[in-house]
Amino acid sequence: MIVMPAAPLRNAGVVSVYVNTVFSEEECDEILASLDETKWEEALVGGVEEKGKFTHAPDYRSNYQQTVPVREDGFPLNRIADEISIANSSLWRFDLGGFVKDDMPWVMDYCRQGDHNDWHVDLGQRATASRKLGFSLQLTEGTEYEGGDLGFHRIQKDRKDLTGKGTLIVFPSFWLHRVAPMTKGARKVVVGWVHGPSFR
């Protein structure tokens, strides 16, 4: 006789994308004002040449980045972490730890025509292996640029819902997504990941 295991508890929300306006325009402007124009660097891509290694690969990804300036009181990462905790409780219910020192959030600047980030997932090797949830915080209003939109495989969202200044978008790190090529203007966002124990 074959003994079958009990049916797993299936979470219908596991592939959800969470969207909410969390920061005011003034708070977004404060984050932008805290950036250091001398610290922009070309964004890198992991796993193109070697597993777990990040390299410059403009065919896959083209934009500038710098680490997020964090105030002594933890702003803006504390606000982001609080909102992600709320979202996780209602949707994915993943076992989360938090941000980690070797994979801290970035401010991404898509400012050149053609800047993009091709279809990819955020879960990978080494420092990225414990990513559970990814997020994107809009620092610029969607009316200020064309192209450059965040898109998800087989999950439809209206552009206006994802591009409002101060909007936080949260999604599973294993879900396929991209940033379409920029055609006009510039888009700045805070991008990062909340880590936790391995999926099991």
Tens of pLDDT along 132-164? 999 999 999 999 999 999 999 999 999 999 999
For residue 66, give the nearest of 90, 43, 98, 91 by alpha carbon: 43
Range of the domain at 129: 20-195
Within-domain flag for 108: yes
**pLDDT band, residue 128 (cuts 50/70/90):** very high
Residues 112-118: what's their mean pLDDT? 97
Distance in angstroms (rounded) separating the CA atoms of residues 107 and 29: 13
Within-domain flag for 120: yes
Is residue 48 pLDDT above 80, yes or no? no
Tally of structural domains, the chain: 1
Within-domain flag for 6: no
Residue 177 pLDDT: 98
Within-domain flag for 86: yes
Within-domain flag for 15: no
Residues 84-101: what's their mean pLDDT? 97
**pLDDT band, residue 126 (cuts 50/70/90):** confident
What is the token pair recorded at 92? 């994915």
Within-domain flag for 8: no
For residues 133 and 172, is the Cβ–Cβ distance under 8 A? yes
Write the single-letter amino acid at 123: L
CATH assignment of the domain containing 190: 2.60.120.620
Distance in angstroms (rounded) separating the CA atoms of residues 163 and 172: 19
Within-domain flag for 102: yes
Residue 199 pLDDT: 87
Angle 67-81-125 from CA coordinates, rounded to 5°? 60
For residues 133 and 194, is the Cβ–Cβ distance under 8 A? yes
Within-domain flag for 1: no
Is residue 52 pLDDT above 70, yes or no? no
Is residue 195 pLDDT above 80, yes or no? yes
Sheet holding 116-120, edge to edge: 61-62, 116-120, 177-179, 150-152
**pLDDT band, residue 7 (cuts 50/70/90):** confident
CB-count exposure of residue 153 (10 Å: 0-12, 13-18, 19+) = exposed
For all residues of the chain together, what is the average pLDDT? 94
